[in-house]
């Protein structure tokens, strides 16, 4: 069930000094030097020296600062290398034997969620695994978007993807773009930033009209943003949850998320159960 991920490394920009990187992360988290020094239990003077390049942090200090700044594991390795240390965290493919237990856990979650759709994505929203309920839904898109690595966000909002079938396109688009903006703000990931720009450039499908499309299911609308998809069997309505690994020390696992879709009404639940038993 687990699809192999293409572990391609992006061409990295010239590495900045560790002090400059730490200052960027601190500013991204909207913390003052005094705030960060207090949280990490280091002196403000020492932190200032580190950020200005007049001092090199120890490995232990760097770890404390990265933890307080909630720096992703991939970027923590960048900090270690910039400071002259070896990377601490490994990035394994999901097919690696050492990730077999995690891989089985993902399989169990995806399979156990059937007949409702669920899929696993990496940090750039590339689909790395999916259960059997996903295929009939994504089949509504142009086959070209299903070739090679499938980006779930592109598949959702692209004019040749699912956009024409999403009843509440404006609402769902706003939800997805807000999520990606938060991810870009938190991670500073340039690939995600480029993806965000691409998604924002997509035109609205003709069926979307000028406003939000609502259904009479007011209860679910009041608590979550639903995903409503027009299919041959009628409009299916979902709400989604996101599951991540709680304490990963592997980069791949730290960037893996399972998006599970639950039926938002009885009609959707019945339609999915019927489709699974057919």
Q: Look at residue 7 in the predicted model and tell me its pLDDT.
A: 38
Kindly state whether residues 69 and 150 are assigned to the same domain.
Answer: no
- Which pLDDT score, from 0 to 100, does residue 14 have? 59
CA distance 206 to 74: 41
* Arithmetic mean of pLDDT, 117-124: 97
Helix axes 18-28, 59-68, angle to 10 degrees: 20
Strand, helix or coil for residue 260:
strand
Is there a single domain that holds both residue 225 and residue 171?
A: yes
9: left (phi over 0), alpha (psi -120 to 50) or beta: beta
Predicted pLDDT at 102: 95
More confident residue, 221 or 56: 56
Same domain, 46 and 102: no
Per-residue pLDDT, 223: 61
Lowest-pLDDT choice from 120-129, 213-222, 257-266: 213-222
Residue 217 banded pLDDT, cuts 50, 70, 90? low
Average pLDDT over residues 110-121: 98
Q: Are 175 and 225 in contact, with CB atoms under 8 Å apart?
A: yes
Task: Place 278 in a pLDDT band, splitting at 50, 70 and 90.
Answer: confident
Say yes or no to pLDDT of 11 above 50.
no
Q: What is the CATH number of the domain that holds 264?
A: 3.30.450
User: Mean pLDDT, to the nearest integer, of 154-183?
Assistant: 95
47 plus 162 within the same structural domain: no
> Whole domain around residue 185: which residue ranges?
97-277
Are 158 and 164 in contact by the 8 Å Cβ rule? The answer is: no
Residue 219 is predicted with a pLDDT of 53
Number of domains in the chain: 2
Query: Does residue 1 lie in a domain region?
Result: no
pLDDT of residue 148: 86
Distances 7 to 71, 161, 184, 188 between C-alpha atoms, Å: 21, 25, 21, 20
pLDDT at residue 206 in the model: 78
pTM as predicted: 0.84
Model confidence at 210, pLDDT cuts 50, 70, 90, reads very low
């Amino acid at each position: 069930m687990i699809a192999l991920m293409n572990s391609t490394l992006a061409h990295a920009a010239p590495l900045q000094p560790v002090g400059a990187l730490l200052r960027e992360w601190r500013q991204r988290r909207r913390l003052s030097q005094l705030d960060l020094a207090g949280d990490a239990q280091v002196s403000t003077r020492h932190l200032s020296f580190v950020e200005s390049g007049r001092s090199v942090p120890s490995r232990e200090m760097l770890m404390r600062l990265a933890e307080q700044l909630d720096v992703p594991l991939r970027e923590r390795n960048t900090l270690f290398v910039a400071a002259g240390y070896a990377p601490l965290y490994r990035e394994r493919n999901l097919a690696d034997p050492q990730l077999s237990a995690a891989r089985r856990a993902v399989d169990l979650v995806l399979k156990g969620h059937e007949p409702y759709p669920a899929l696993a994505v990496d940090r750039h929203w590339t689909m790395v695994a999916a259960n059997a309920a996903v295929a009939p839904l994504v089949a509504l898109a142009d086959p070209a978007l299903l070739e090679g690595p499938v980006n779930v966000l592109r598949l959702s909002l692209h004019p040749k993807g699912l956009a024409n079938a999403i009843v509440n396109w404006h609402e769902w688009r706003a939800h997805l773009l807000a999520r990606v903006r938060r991810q870009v703000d938190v991670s500073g990931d340039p690939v995600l930033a480029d993806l965000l720009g691409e998604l924002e450039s997509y035109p609205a499908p003709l069926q979307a009209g000028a406003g939000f499309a609502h259904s009479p299911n007011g209860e679910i609308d009041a608590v979550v943003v639903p995903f409503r998809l027009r299919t041959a069997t009628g409009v299916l309505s979902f709400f989604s949850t996101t599951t991540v690994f709680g304490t990963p020390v592997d980069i791949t696992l730290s960037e893996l998320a399972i998006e599970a879709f639950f039926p938002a009404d009885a009609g959707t639940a019945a339609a999915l159960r019927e489709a699974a038993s057919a």
